[in-house]
Amino acid sequence: MKKFNLFVLLLSAGIYFCLAGTSFAGDTAICYNCPPMWADWATQLKAINENIGISMPHDNKNSGQTLSQLIAEKDHPVADVAYYGVTFGILAKEKGVVAPYKPAYWDEIPAGLKDPDGYWFTIHSGTLGLFVNKDALDGKPVPRSWTDLLKPMYKGMVGYLDPSSAAVGYTGATAVNIALGGTLDNFDPAIEFFKKLKKNRPIVPKQTSYARVLSGEIPILFDYDFNAYRAKYKDKANIEFVIPAEGTIMAPYVMSLVKNSPNPENGKKVLDFIMSDKGQAVWANAFLRPVRASAMSPEVAAKFLPESEYKRAKAVNWEKMSKVQKTFRDRYLSEVR
C-alpha cells in the first residue's frame, strides 16, 4: 500500500510539474535576434518581464541568421516575434514568414517607417559611423573619414560585421557606397573600398562585437551611434563616435509578428509594450532614436553629436536597398571575401 501511495504521489508530482511547465510556456515569447549586448536588449527584456510578465530568452542571431531560421521553420515556427534591420523585415514579408500586426501607437510611426499592413514596423533607428576605442589606437589619430581607414597605420585595427549576413554589415557597406559616390544600382565604390581595406587585414565578425571594441580587440568598428554612446556614457570607456566626413546613412530597425507563431497573443503583447512609453524609453535611454520621438528626453539628446554632424547622415530607399541586397552580397562574396 505504501509503495502504491508513493507511486501516486510521484505521478501527481510529475503531472504538477508538467502543468507548471505548460503554464510557464504560456508566459513566454520567443524573439529571434534579441542579443543582450546589442541595443540594450538586456534592459528591454527585463522591462518586458517586469511590466507584462512575459519571459523572453536572449537570442544572439544576427538579422540574416534570423531570416534564414524563419524560412527554415516556416511550416513549424518556433519564434513569436523577430527583430532585424529594415531590409530583412522587407524580405521576411516577401518570404511569407511574418504576419500583419499593427501594434499600439501605430499612428505615431511615420509612413515611410512601416509596412502599410503591419508586416514590419520601425521601433528605433541608428546612424552608421565609426565606433572608436581611443585607448586602443596606440597613439594614432582618430580616423575622420572612410578613406582614412585605408591608411597603413590602421592595419589590423578596423572591423566591420559581415555584410553578406548581418544587417549592420550591409548597412555599413551601403553607407560607404553612397558616401563614396555610388548608388543602389551601382555598388562599385563599396566593392573597391572593401578590396582596398582587405590589404589592412580587417576583422570581420558575424555577430555584434560591442565587447570586443570595449576590450580594445577591435579598436575601430563600423557600427551605430547608440553603441558608441552607450560605451562612452554607461561603460565609461574612452570612446568616440565619428560620422565620416564623406557622409553616411541612418537605418531603421524593425520588428514583426511571426506567421503562425506558437504564442501569437504573447507576441502581440510584447510588440505593444515595445511601442509603449516605457518600452520606447528603454531605447532612448540606450541612445537609440525611438520611432516615437516624444520618448527622447532633452537630457539624452544632449549627449549625441551636434545636429550639424548628423546632417551628413542620409536616408535611402529601403525597399530598393532590400531588393539589391542579394546582388551586393553575391558580389562581396565573389570579389572581396
What pLDDT, in 10s, does the model give residues 61-110? 999 999 999 999 999 999 999 999 999 999 999 999 999 999 999 999 99
Residue 21: pLDDT band by 50, 70, 90 thresholds?
Answer: very low
Cβ-proximal residues to 89 (8 Å cutoff; 6+ apart), any chain: 98, 115, 119, 120, 254, 255, 256
Widest Cα–Cα separation across the chain: 85
Residue 207: pLDDT band by 50, 70, 90 thresholds?
Answer: confident
Torsions phi, psi for 80 (to 5 deg): -105, -35
Stated pTM of the model: 0.81
What pLDDT, in 10s, does the model give residues 227-254? 999 999 999 999 999 999 999 999 999 9
Confidence check: pLDDT of 26 > 70: no
What pLDDT, in 10s, does the model give residues 152-184? 999 999 999 999 988 899 999 999 999 999 999
Closest C-alpha to 98, from 112, 114, 111: 114
CA dihedral 166→131→331→73, nearest 10 degrees, is: 0
Task: State the cell numbers at 336.
Answer: 572581396
Confidence check: pLDDT of 23 > 80: no
Torsions phi, psi for 231 (to 5 deg): -65, -40
Chain centre to alpha carbon of residue 50:
23
Q: What is the pLDDT of residue 13?
A: 36
Architecture of domain 126-250+306-335 in this structure: 3-Layer(aba) Sandwich (3.40)
Q: What is the pLDDT of residue 308?
A: 95
Residue 37: pLDDT band by 50, 70, 90 thresholds?
Answer: confident
What pLDDT, in 10s, does the model give residues 288-308? 999 998 999 999 999 999 999
Between CA 206 and CA 15 the distance in angstroms is 43
What rounded mean pLDDT belongs to the chain?
91
Whole-angstrom CA distances from 23 to 15, 17, 58 are 12, 10, 20
> Cell numbers 510584447 label which residue?
270
